[in-house]
Amino acid sequence: MVLFGRFRSNLRFPCAAGVVAAAVALTGCNTERTAAAAPSKGGRGDAATLVLVAKAIQRDVPIQAEVIGSVEAYSTVSVRPQISGQILQSYFKEGDFVKAGQLLLTIDPRAIEAQLNQLEAQYQKDQAGILQAKAALARDQAQQANAKGQLQRAAELMKEGIISKEQYDQYVANDGALNATINADLAAIENAKAQAGASKAAVENQKVQLSYTKILAPISGRTGTLLVKPGNVVTANTTELATINQLQPVYVSFALPEVHLSALRANAGKKLPVSVVPEEGGQPHTGTLAFYENSVDTNSGTIRLKATLENADRALWPGQFVRVTLKLGEHNAAVLIPSQAVQSGQDGTFVYVVKPDSKVEFREVTVAQRLGDESVIGKGLEAGETVVTEGTLRLVPGARVSVRERGEGGRGGSGQGDPPRAAPPQKGGRPG
User: Which of 291, 306, 331 lies at the terminal end of a domain, its last residue?
Assistant: 331
Q: Which of 285, 304, 331 is the last residue before a domain boundary?
A: 331
Neighbours of 159 (CB within 10 A): 10
In a domain, 4, yes or no: no
The pTM for the full model equals 0.62
CATH of the domain at 391: 2.40.420.20
Contact 74, 309 (CB under 8 A): no
202 in a domain, yes or no? yes
Number of domains in the chain: 4
Residue 419 lies in a domain: no
19 part of a folded domain: no
Does 32 fall in a domain? no
Q: Are residues 340 and 398 in the same domain?
A: yes
Domain that holds residue 227: 83-108+213-240
Gap between the Cα atoms of 267 and 98, Å rounded: 38
Q: Rounded distance, CA 120 to CA 201, Å?
A: 10
Tell me whether residue 14 is in a domain: no
Q: Is the residue at 3 inside a domain?
A: no
Q: Give 229's contacts (C-beta < 8 A, 6+ positions apart).
A: 87, 90
104 and 218 fall within a common domain:
yes
The answer to whether residues 386 and 309 belong to one domain is no
Reading phi first (left if > 0) and then psi (alpha if -120 to 50, else beta), residue 390 is in beta
Residues 6+ apart with CB under 8 A from 180: none
Q: How far is 98 from 242, CA to CA, in rounded Å?
A: 12
Q: Is 424 within 8 Å of 432 (Cβ atoms)?
A: yes
Neighbouring CB atoms inside 10 A of 54's CB total 21
Q: Are residue 288 and residue 276 in the same domain, yes or no?
A: yes
Give pLDDT tens digits along the chain (432 positions): 333 343 334 434 343 334 333 333 334 434 333 333 333 333 345 688 899 999 999 998 888 888 999 999 999 999 999 999 999 999 999 999 999 999 999 999 999 999 999 999 999 999 999 999 999 999 988 988 888 888 888 888 888 888 888 888 888 898 889 889 999 989 999 999 999 999 999 999 999 999 999 999 999 999 999 999 999 999 999 999 999 999 999 999 999 998 888 888 888 888 899 999 998 888 899 999 999 999 999 999 999 999 999 999 999 999 999 999 998 888 888 999 999 999 988 888 999 999 999 999 999 999 888 887 899 998 999 999 999 999 888 889 999 999 887 654 444 443 333 444 444 444 444 443
Quick one: 235 and 96 in the same domain? Answer: yes
Contact residues for 213 (Cβ-Cβ < 8 A; gap 6+): 83, 85, 106, 107, 108, 109, 112
Q: Is residue 414 part of a domain?
A: no
159 shares its domain with 297: no
